[in-house]
Structure 1
Amino acid sequence: MSVTIDITGLPHERIVFRPSPLAELGNALHALAEPDHHTGLHAWTTATTAALAPDLADRLLEAEFMWQSTRSDFLLPPHPRETLAEELDDLDRMDDEKFVGAALEISCSTSFYSKGLPSPLVDEWSRRRALDLAAARGPRQAAFVERMLADPTAARAWIRRLLEDCDRAFFADTWQRVRDGLATDARDKTELLRRKGLAAALAAASPALSLAEDEHGSRIVVDKLVQGRTRADAAVTLLPSVFGRPHLFTLYAPGWQPVIQYPAATHGLGHTDSTETVVLRLAALTHPVRISLCRHLARGAYSTNELADASGITAPEASRHLAVLRKAGLVVTRRRGRYVLHQLDLPVVARIGGDFLESVLR
């Protein structure tokens, strides 16, 4: 399985490596929300969490679904700027339907814009579905989605203030420490692209990135436990990240410029095997469908019906695979009101092997 970006006819100078303060802030917030995903950042997450003002900590909880399990697309800027303020200004210029669609993709475990559904800002059926899906994710998400749909302008201003307050509280100092390293990584990949070509630059960024060329054209292939494709008409942006490791995010939604966020080069970290290699190693112990389910369960808690819908299988099939994962001690289950939610037990999975954990989090 993979995500492919068609770059046929795209000049290589339109493939840009550049750091983004907004993307790195999104990664830092994710690390605070899911410290088990980032054991190498334990000292930073512990110290930063302890220093958060109670009001800011509470507000982060209200919005953490936008970066906890994955990333809202607006946190991966296609045109990185020098400062966070400039990137937030770019967000302010995004139209409401696009912004709200990106937010609801995460908070409602669905995508309105990628499935061609009408926006919940203008369509009553989509609005009811968004609210129902958000309610299944918990009261915080339900309240936030209701507020977003009722007054998107005020909700967007609230998000901007939250990100600005995070910048003042901890991220400005953090960005000062990491930005030079990220800029160096981006320059190195750009020079490699110029001297040795795109295939070499992609391989240097991540072993999960490759270039495919044949009679049908040229494609960037991102090795992930998900299937998707898009075409780059104007450019492709690659964002190096310190706080994003081990994740490899790809923005490939319709109407968005493709963006890839990759772990920047870090001393002391070993090679990460491809997903194909990891799947082969685990073939004797598990089932390919269950590996795919693990990708969803690693990012958040799902009900059986939500997991079935996200994976394209029936609810009975999902239930049978969940039973196997629970029996193996890989999944924890809890009840929230009338919903029974399942989630991957990351510390247990980590003991199986770092390659598998990095693959489901990639």
Structure 2
Amino acid sequence: MATVIEIAGLPMERIVISPSPLAELCTALHALAQPGHHPGLHGWTTATAASLKQDLADRLHEADFLWGPTFSDISMPFAALPYSEGRPGATLAADLDLLDRLDDERYVNAALEISCSSQYSLGGPSPLVDATSRELALERATARGPRQLAFARRLLADPPGVRAWIRRLLEDCDEAFFADLWQRLGGQLAADARHKAEVLRHKGLRAALAEVSPALTLEDDPALGTPARIHIDKLSSGRTTAVDPAVGAGLTLVPSAYGWPHLRVLHAPGWRPVIHYPLAAPELPGPASLEILRLRMEALAHPIRMRICRSVGRAEFTTGELATEYGITAPEVSRHVAVLKKAGLITTERRGRYVLHRLDLTTVARLGSDFLEGVLR
């Protein structure tokens, strides 16, 4: 499984490497909403959450549909605007101006899409104009609770009003904490982008991708010996092109200081592909017993259980949703979930008529260090 970006014929000068204030703000909001995804940011998330005024905290809670379990592509509007040539804004205000230029259909479609869904690469009409898309969007929101459902209904009923509300919310976040954060991080991200651009210029795309992430590899056309595609090693399948004439040829790489462990790939149809990569990974503590480690690694040895972990690691999923996502029966899903629960990797919670499964992120985050501790003990 992998995400693939076709690049045959892409001029290297059409590759943009640049930080994005809006993408980093949404990454920071994701860390605040899902601190378990980012154990290395525990100090920052705790202090920042404690410092937020109640009104702002409540509004962030109301809107975390956009950056909580998964990421919305509205954090990178430059990718949908051909005239931007794939370049993020130099400031948060400039990025928000680009966001304002998305039409309502594209905005709503991006805001309500779950980017790790198998339907993501297929595209399709906006929920604003298509009844089936609207029903699916509301069903996903319903499964995640009344707050997400209320937000989705508001957005579908009044896109301009909710868009203005979201912009004001992001501007208030800038005033509350992000302006100071960006002052500290912006230079670091710009320096990384300049370094990667120099590597690209002097050593080529293969070397630049190797510095971005070991999960990225460049594959050549066997007949021509020229770069044909970028292969991103992820537990999801997707395919897009960096030479779509409708959006303009190009690829954008965006560094993130707060993104680890996420390597995001925007590969929605009709959008310029974007790779949003973390700068570094913090160290993770904590050994477990060898018996517990063996149980957990055996539980993960099955490919379906690995894919289930990917889904429930990014968002809560019902048994029925997982069955639909992977083309198996609900009883089969239940058996796989039982194995993962026995190993302590998954928790479940009943919410009304839904039973939602979620990955225990703290436990999974320790697996690598636990394995190293086990084999060196």
Question: TM-score of the superposition, structure 1-length normalised?
Answer: 0.89
Q: 1:338 to 1:269 in 2, by over 3 A?
A: closer
Q: 1:285 to 1:69 in 2, by over 3 A?
A: closer
Look up the match of 1:168: 175
Distance 1:246 1:355 in 2: 17
- SS of the residue corresponding to residue 210 of structure 1 reads strand
> Aligned residues: percent identity?
62
Deviations 1:78-101 (A, max 9, x none): 321110111111111101111101
The correspondence for 1:94, drawn from 98, 102, 114, is 102
Look up the match of 1:136: 143
Look up the match of 1:152: 159
Look up the match of 2:43: 43
Distance 2:210 2:92 in 1: 29
Letter aligned with residue 343 of structure 2: A
Look up the match of 1:208: 215
Instruction: Give the conservation status (yes or no) of the 8 Å contact 1:14–1:235.
Output: yes
Q: Does 1:301 align with 2:316?
A: yes
- SS of the residue corresponding to residue 122 of structure 2 reads coil
Distance 1:118 1:112 in 2: 12
The correspondence for 1:237, drawn from 252, 260, 282, is 252
Question: TM-score of the superposition, structure 2-length normalised?
Answer: 0.86
Look up the match of 1:73: 73
Distance 1:347 1:206 in 2: 23
Distance 1:82 1:117 in 2: 31
Unaligned 5+ runs, structure 2: 80-86, 244-248, 285-295, 372-377
Q: 1:300 to 1:180 in 2, by over 3 A?
A: same
Letter aligned with residue 2 of structure 2: S
Deviations 1:146-198 (A, max 9, x none): 11111111111111111111011000000000011101100000000111100
Q: 1:116 to 1:260 in 2, by over 3 A?
A: closer
Q: 1:110 to 1:141 in 2, by over 3 A?
A: farther
Instruction: Give the conservation status (yes or no) of the 8 Å contact 2:38–2:260.
Output: yes
The correspondence for 1:223, drawn from 233, 256, 273, is 233
Aligned-residue offset at 1:127: 2.5
Aligned CA RMSD, in angstroms, stands at 2.2
Distance 2:119 2:40 in 1: 35
Distance 2:311 2:139 in 1: 20
Distance 1:285 1:105 in 2: 28
315-324 vs 82-91, which deviates more? 315-324
Look up the match of 2:7: 7
Instruction: Give the conservation status (yes or no) of the 8 Å contact 2:299–2:340.
Output: no
Alignment length (residue pairs): 344
Aligned-residue offset at 1:317: 2.0
Look up the match of 2:111: 103
Q: Does 1:342 align with 2:357?
A: yes
Aligned-residue offset at 1:269: 6.0
- SS of the residue corresponding to residue 277 of structure 2 reads strand
Unaligned 5+ runs, structure 1: 271-280, 357-362
Distance 1:254 1:355 in 2: 40
Q: 1:134 to 1:343 in 2, by over 3 A?
A: same
Letter aligned with residue 146 of structure 1: R
Q: 1:125 to 1:245 in 2, by over 3 A?
A: closer
- SS of the residue corresponding to residue 48 of structure 2 reads helix
Aligned-residue offset at 1:316: 2.4
Look up the match of 1:253: 268
Q: 1:129 to 1:220 in 2, by over 3 A?
A: closer
Letter aligned with residue 296 of structure 1: S
Deviations 1:108-133 (A, max 9, x none): x8687743543221223332332233
The correspondence for 2:186, drawn from 179, 191, 196, is 179
